[in-house]
Amino acid sequence: ARQMKVDLSKVTGTGPGGRIVKADVLKAAKEVKMKEAETKEKEKIEIEREIIKKRITPEILETIPLKGIRKTIAERMYKSISEIPHFTLYVEINISNLKSLKDKLNKETKGKKISYTDLIVKATALSLEKYPILNSTLKDDKVIIFKDINVGLATSMEDGLIVPVIFNANKLSLEEIADKRVDLVNRAGENKLELDDVSGSTFTITNLGMFEIDYFSPIINFPEAGILSVGAITKKPIVDKEGKITVEPMMKLGLTLDHRVLDGVTGAKFLQYLRKILQEPNKLV
């Protein structure tokens, strides 16, 4: 019994007068082996769990608390994506004429450099005049369409993202838009923007083209109804109306909208109108 690790005090005898017989010892020994096997299996499982836990838990490099502007951004982004049903439409634009206009204007003007962003701001503002439903917000089950067209420019800062505003962009010249953009971006970089500079936008534009991002679907700047994303300029072979292949500068735009306020057809018409202005940009001057 000792060799089999059987504790006779715990064995119930089945022999005459309750005596412990060989069969009782063998049965008890079998039960001991089964318990030992179960214990070993449990220990093995526990060891494996610890190994897996260590394997799938990455080592922490740094813990950064959300605070200040980053916390505000997180709250607004969550509110937007939680409350607004987003959908995005994309369009590709031949900007050869737009590039020619930009180069021409920058040769004619001294000190004031017109950027693609300035041209897109102006074109977007004019498109919002044509389709004012995009220049709106949803509040208390009512769509509020704004008369003023105030275009926000998503601008990256060291600790987050901020949206300075070009007010009444549809009424400004390209030079005025350029001046305001440069001033806002410079003051944003110096952390000198006032509250009035970042309040009151009715539609937002975000541009990642300078980072060679072809296209993307941004989150709407709550509580607006839409946001326009601008991608990188890339040269592509294009077949013209006569069947000839030429290499042209192309740009992709993305229009993300609030599906509660408008549907895809209206968004598509807006993009068609915006593309027409950018491809035939004389209206911008």
Give the residue-averaged pLDDT of 280-285: 94
- Point out the catalytic residue in the list 103, 148, 159, 259: 259
7 is catalytic: no
Peptide bond into 16 cis (omega under 30): no
Dist CA 134 CA 149 (whole Å): 10
Local confidence band at 5 (pLDDT 50, 70, 90 cut-offs)? low
Q: What is the pLDDT of residue 257?
A: 98
Q: Reduced to 3 states, what is the DSSP secondary structure of residue 204?
A: strand
Query: What residue segments make up the domains of the chain, in order of their start?
Result: 8-56, 68-284
Mean pLDDT of the chain: 90
Q: Which residues pair with 167 in a beta bridge?
A: none
Question: Please, what's the largest Cα pairwise distance for the chain?
Answer: 120
pLDDT digits 0-9 by tens, 23-70: 777 777 777 678 877 888 888 888 888 777 766 667 789 998 988 888
DSSP 241: T
For domain 68-284, give the CATH number: 3.30.559.10
Give the residue-averaged pLDDT of 13-31: 72
pLDDT digits 0-9 by tens, 150-179: 999 999 887 788 999 999 999 999 999 999
259 is catalytic: yes
Q: What is the pLDDT of residue 59?
A: 78
- What is the full DSSP assignment across 33-77? HHHHHHHHHHHHHHHHHHHHHHHHSPPP-------HHHHHHHHHH
- Point out the catalytic residue in the list 103, 159, 240, 263: 263
